[in-house]
């Protein structure tokens, strides 16, 4: 399983990662079966090598790569990875095909351009999940859902007030 999580809503990304960690198994095996890589200092071969490690006493392992696409391209391109000879459709597609089913590989990015051709082409091989900052009705629905899931109730006027005063910062909101 290969994912690309990107967006400014770091709270929702954090929540989604918690769900992924549950797939690893018991909490005592979580640390030994999770590897975090800094995307600014790894290449495709290192990601593949790390992803090929067999899980220890678990069905799956988790590999998180932070900022790989951001650092793979030209520094000023804000998420564009075009022009870098190490990362183009051929090598990264070949690499993704070699990731074993026992590995959950997640690329974490703050920003990716929606028209990024590399990311578009990789959409066939990985699940791409955008996490934009919630606004308007989406934010109010999130607030309502969060309150209800905690076993409480909230009036619509209170939901609007929270949305207006706190905004889309879900860390503060939670």
Mean pLDDT, residues 66-87: 53
Mean pLDDT, residues 147-158: 94
* DSSP letters spanning the chain: -EEEEESS-HHHHHHHHHHHHHTT-SHHHHTTTEEEEETTS--HHHHHHHHTSPPSSSS-EEEEEESHHHHHS-GGGTT--TT-SSSSHHHHHHHHHT--TTEEEEEEES---TT-HHHHHHTTTSEEEE-PPP-HHHHHHHHHHHHHHTT----HHHHHHHHHHHTT-HHHH-
Mean pLDDT, residues 142-168: 94
pLDDT value of position 76: 39
pLDDT value of position 89: 60
Mean pLDDT, residues 87-97: 70
pLDDT at 127 over 80: yes
Instruction: Tell which wins on pLDDT, 117 or 88.
Output: 117
pLDDT tens for each residue of 2-54: 899 999 999 999 999 988 888 777 777 788 889 999 988 888 889 999 999 99
pLDDT value of position 87: 52
pLDDT at 118 over 80: no
**Confidence (pTM):** 0.81
Instruction: Tell which wins on pLDDT, 130 or 119.
Output: 130
């Amino acid at each position: 399983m290969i994912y690309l999580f990107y967006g400014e809503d770091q709270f929702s990304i954090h929540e989604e990662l918690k769900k992924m960690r549950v797939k690893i198994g018991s909490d005592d095996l979580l640390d030994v079966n999770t590897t975090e890589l800094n995307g600014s200092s790894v290449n495709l071969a290192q990601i593949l090598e790390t992803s090929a490690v067999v899980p220890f006493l678990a069905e799956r392992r988790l590999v998180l790569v932070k900022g790989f696409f951001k650092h793979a391209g030209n520094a000023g391109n804000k998420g564009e990875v075009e022009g870098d000879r190490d990362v183009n459709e051929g090598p990264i597609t070949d690499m993704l095909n070699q990731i074993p089913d026992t590995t959950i590989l997640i690329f974490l990015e703050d920003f990716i351009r929606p028209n990024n051709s590399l990311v578009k082409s990789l959409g066939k091989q990985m699940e791409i999940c955008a996490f934009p900052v919630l606004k308007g009705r989406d934010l109010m629905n999130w607030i309502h859902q969060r309150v209800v899931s905690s076993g409480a109730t909230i009036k619509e006027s209170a939901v609007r007030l929270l949305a207006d005063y706190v905004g889309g910062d879900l860390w503060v909101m939670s």
